[in-house]
Structure 1
Amino acid sequence: MHTAQPAGRVRLNVGGQVFETTVDTLTGAGEGTMLCAMMDPCWNAAGAAGTAGGVPEYFIDRDPACFASLLDMLRTGELHVPAGVPERVLFREANYYGLLDRVRAARIGELDLKRVRLAASVPPGRVTADRPIVRAAPDGGCCVTHTHDTTVRVYNWMLEERRPVCLTPAVSRVRDAAYLGPSSLLVGGLGMAAFSALTGDLSHHFRLANLGESVDTLALASDQETKMFASCRGISRYDSYGIGVWDCITGEQAGPLLYPKPESKMGSTTKLQWLPNTKTLMAASVCSSFSMALVDSRDMSVVWSWWYDSAREGKNRCVVDAAVMEDERSVCLISDHHDLGLLDIRIQGNSGNVRWLHQSKMSSTSKCNSPKLAVHGGLLSASKDDTISVFGGPKYDLRLALRGSQGGGAINDFSVGGDRFFAVHKEDNVLDVWETPLPPII
């Protein structure tokens, strides 16, 4: 750890343009940054080109316009991209000085769905495919794959495409992906493995301990710490699905597979959602009829289950997605007709009734697509066609509607995380990114 010099003036000649600032401003860049290290007494004395009036001066052979923007960010906390300078050039210069984390904090505000704006639309960059899925990373990046594809496209928070990841053998199709953290990506399909999200390198494969074989995966979830969960079966056992838990660090299975009992009416689980407050896992099946369960992660036991009985309601309605609300007391359901419903999961079993909200809350502009649900910040997001509707309040009134790329077609999937909202279109696979601008510093 360095011992900071007393606050004083310092000059930096960057690409022929001289900047004068204080030692405190540069050390405020933080440990591990180049500018902070330059103020350390242990810094190579030859680093200073000389002194003028007792003020040390350093020469840095980099872009002066970008440095001016970064220096202003250190002074004010606000980031302004210089006119005529592409954002990626500024990011490159920030990386040189070790300021990328500071730039990200100044660039992306905490996600507020009531104030989001469309920040970018990223083209697929290759031949489009049907049914794309997107998963948000904790650092503002994401990954995109397709239910019948063999690779996963990975993007960093600057929306630059990194090296893709691929299950082995190369013919293994991907069905789902989940982030363990900003640098670790879990991928499942005909096989299950962990990869570095930074380099695309394989970390390890996950196998079924009792069968000693690879895992055929339908859905993934992570506790954002050390455990991952998967709805899966052995490659040789196509008739029996279960939910398993693995240690993300070692890749070893951390418990037996949970095979749902017939009375739970749980089919093949197609969606998993980790609930951090209760340390439970929501498992939902929408294959033939809808059913869901809550699983205690400590012993992988079912503590609550429910299934939708359309005959009891007397309506031709199918539930196609579910999301547990952030209070973990209720779950929101969406039907194939885009009806929204709420279910109190504190009521045991099928004695709980769904409180269906009025169908008119889901507007339509084109041929419908399979709807999806997500929750964030007490608000509920639901997709229909080319629009994502955001609901809030005690009655879940419509707050706003998000539309992305013009002509992109129906939204096939969306994901919230890393202070960003991602949506991928079915027809052209364009990836839309929404974020909340930082409020001005007064």
Structure 2
Amino acid sequence: MTMRFAEWITTLPNDNLPHEVIARATDCILDIIGCSLVGFNAPGTTSARAAAELNFRGGDAPVYFSDRSMGATGAAFANSAAASMLDLDDGHRLAMGHPGAAVVPVALAIASEIGASNAELLAAIVIGYEISVRLGAGEIRKSHHTGNWTTFGAVATAARLRGLNKEQIAHALAIAAYHGPRLRSLTESAEMGSHVKESIPWSVVTGMIATDLARAGFTGSRDALDLPDRFDSKVALDGLGTEFHINGVYFKRFSTCRWTHTSVDGLMQLMQERQVSANEIQAIEVMTFREAVSLNNRASPPSLESAQYSLPFSLGVAATLGHDHLSPMTVDVLHHKAAVELARKVKVIHSTEMDSYLPLRTPARVRVCARGEWVEKLVIDAWGDSGSSTARADLRAKFQSLASKTLNPPAIEAIIAAVGEVHLRGVRPLNQALTNPEVLNEAWR
């Protein structure tokens, strides 16, 4: 597989990508930037940024929304932490994880360092998503640790921009197979609410360094991706060169695990349709798929990260405070009395019927008892699912909503305009918009 992927990575032309693929890559850039903005001050992000400054000083790749720059690896690591920390970043059903928070920061950082053209940048992003999703989909034992396969997307993105040849790329992928994250299932840990989360920022570092190692002559075991306990090659290679998996990306409006979103949507729809208030709810039952049941699902989670993996608490916040408090969810809602009380009324039930929709859909059937009467709602697709054809206007509205919490309207529009012109002007105008003094908070300097 390393050689098959390397061949494709080196031969995909920059200037022959379909219009819809270029448009989707641009959408992904805007969405990741919005996630990075609201995730910038999260405790895990500030810790990652401090570590990056210690280890990757010097360089011209910007740390967005700050006045700092680092080497490309450091900037990509810091920006990836910001993009992924609040669990608001894009994802893909086939891979069951989040490619964008790794691929986009790598592409923007290296493009900034080498002065890549607009076509080179966008092709590298498309390539990074493709390799990430394919190896995520082909993972034999689904770990639900995105970093286990985004390290290969980081390699693909970095190798394409840095001009590695086919042999070097094969070795880079092989090096990453051993040096990158290889973690057990996220849901096996009782403390899934830590800053480690899905190891996406660290996958960026290992992928970029694996690329640098291969470029310098370091070798890997090129059959690493073919070992039978790691990836299913038939799944990973199926249709390579005939389709673009970036077209199947989904986007999120709630900063909680995607597995909770259909449940939140179902509850909100029922409350609106039946004119039910939170204090009238006596009980909630959620029939959903096995993976959602396996989340920590604490009624009173101890940390923001733990809250992101709690279906009952997500429902409690949405019902009592409004779903806008999930966009993004902040530490202010932790231990909120009304939210916790409602979360304690939620029963999460495994449904084999819901299992049958996976992996392309993650549905939930929500039943609510209010005023002594049970009502229910089945939600199959959440907002932003690839099947729901999320419009560019929807993504722009999401960005504006997130950015309005921090930035003034001219700064917001400047960023949107710069992203919209990436396919024409490349990364330089975008960097200027994202490091303009107007977007810097004094506390961030």
Using structure 1 for the length normalisation, give the TM-score: 0.27
Q: Which structure is higher in strand share? A: 1
**Larger Rg belongs to:** 1
**More contact order relative to length (CA 8 Å, sep ≥ 6):** 2
Using structure 2 for the length normalisation, give the TM-score: 0.26
Q: Which structure is higher in helix share? A: 2
